[in-house]
Amino acid sequence: MNGKRSDNQLLLAFAEESAGEARPVAVQEIETFTAGCATEHPVTSDTDMMEVICKPENVNRAYGQVVANKGSAGVDGRTVHQLRDHLKVHWPSIREQLLSGTYRPMPVRRVEIPKPDGGVRKLGIPTVLDRLIQQAILQVLTPMWDPTFSAYSYGFRPGRRAHQAVAQAQAYIAEGRTWVVDLDLEKFFDRVNHDRLMARLASRIADKRLLRLIRAYLNAGVMENGLVSPTTEGTPQGGPLSPLLSNIVLDELDQELERRSHAFVRYADDCNVYVRSEKAGQRVMRSVSDFITRKLKLKVNESKSAVDRPSRRKFLGFTIAEGAKPQRRIAPKALKRLRAKVRELTRRTRGVDARRIVSDLTVYLRGWVGYFGFCETPWELRDLDGWIRRRLRAVAWKHWKRGPTRCRELMRRGIPREDAVNAAWRFHNPWRASRSIAVSKALPTTLWDRLGLLRLYQP
């Protein structure tokens, strides 16, 4: 039977897609709003870092990054789309405040997002103007600090990613370090000690204006339910500068681990130390926890930290099975979250057509497999592909509703009349019907390929 005709018939079997869906608006070309802002104060020494930060080319690059990142408005309600017009009028005075050391940032807006494992993560969303200034600072400080960070630190660093951290952990296990000290820092971003952080910044930054500005960002406060609360510790997640500041804080931990010759890998506040025995692991857990508490003024979450086999611990969404050749596997919780999301997107009561369901699935699956495709268990991906297609067949069966319609749709797709009648009147449960031979043949893998469904496993 003609494939295109089958596709169209399948689409008609689903409810109509809602009309009038908003289309993405093209991002307008970024305009240089700093034109005409000459550098009044030439950069002559380390005390002139604010002049470097305020250079037109640096600020324009920061503006482009803030616009590309999008994000929601801060406490002033201004969006990234309104930022350009605001800067065209006010940038000269803002720049003068930055150079004179009189600029004062606004409080961040508290936002709570659910964590995959339960609970909420509290974010602090700065205003778009403060995001621009933080990004401009970040672009100047990163080349100064990043080259000095540990080779075993992978989070929030240019040219580094989570996959590299997982591969490094795998290499340690291949060397025979088959026990892991999994350290979880309790509410790390909320408990960073400001005085210690500023002391480390002052060891390399001579410009007092920049130090005061960073301190002002740390102490800007948080607005929640219309009330502003002061912040005396922590680096609110949500601003461009926070990841670098967190790495500066935890670089002290990295240096200590290297001094002790430990085999470790750190990604943001996830830190694993790999050892050869459980006894060594317990010893490392005690000594490193003491250093974190006593020296860094942070707290180890004892309920989430453990000394265990890597196959029983999750690191950045993966587990690593020990053996002659350690193997990266997708962590069970990551698989559970995927299945929950697919179930949500393939609800049999969504009321949208097949192309919309497949399109939504593909958008999600593309990001998921872009990360978890790094696993070394292709059979898991193949099983997930089969399960997803079965979910889609169940949706089609549900939307065909009655026996006569189901029989007719199966016959249109080349199923013999006797088999179509048998399936249509036998399988009332869509999930049971989705695994039947008749439905599988009527809605084969090639159909979903033509509709654009992304396969997780690509042989």
User: What are 100's two structure tokens?
Assistant: 């004179």
pLDDT in tens, 403-431: 999 999 999 999 999 999 999 988 889 99
pLDDT in tens, 137-179: 999 999 999 999 999 999 999 999 999 999 999 999 999 999 9
Q: What is the DSSP letter of 315?
A: B
DSSP of 2-42? -HHHHHHHHHHHSPPPPS-PPPPPPPPPPP-TTTT---SS-
* pLDDT for position 354: 83
pLDDT in tens, 46-105: 668 999 999 999 999 999 999 999 989 999 999 999 999 999 999 999 999 999 999 999
> Residue 253 in contact with residue 296, Cβ under 8 Å?
yes
* pLDDT for position 115: 74
User: What are 111's two structure tokens?
Assistant: 């936002």
The sign one gets for the Cα dihedral 196, 201, 203, 206 is negative
Q: How many Cβ atoms sit within 10 Å of the Cβ of residue 419?
A: 17
Q: Which residue, 102, 301, 294, 49, is CA-closest to 196?
A: 294
Task: Indicate the burial class of 422 (C-beta count within 10 angstroms; 0-12, 13-18, 19 or more).
Answer: middle
* pLDDT for position 42: 44
pLDDT in tens, 6-60: 444 444 333 333 333 333 333 333 445 655 554 444 444 466 899 999 999 999 9
Which whole number is the average pLDDT over 450-459?
Answer: 92
pLDDT in tens, 299-340: 999 999 999 999 999 999 999 998 889 999 999 999 999 999
For 181, the 3-state DSSP assignment is strand
* Mean pLDDT estimate for the chain: 88
Rounded to an integer, what distance in angstroms lies between the CA atom of residue 350 and that of residue 395?
Answer: 9
> Residue 430 in contact with residue 13, Cβ under 8 Å?
no
Q: Are strands 270-275 and 108-114 parallel, antiparallel or unpaired?
A: unpaired
For residues 5 and 284, which has the higher predicted lDDT (pLDDT)?
284
Ramachandran region, residue 325 (left: φ > 0; alpha: ψ -120 to 50; beta: rest): beta
> Residue 51 in contact with residue 39, Cβ under 8 Å?
yes
Residue 122: pLDDT band with limits 50, 70, 90: confident
Say yes or no to pLDDT of 346 above 60.
yes
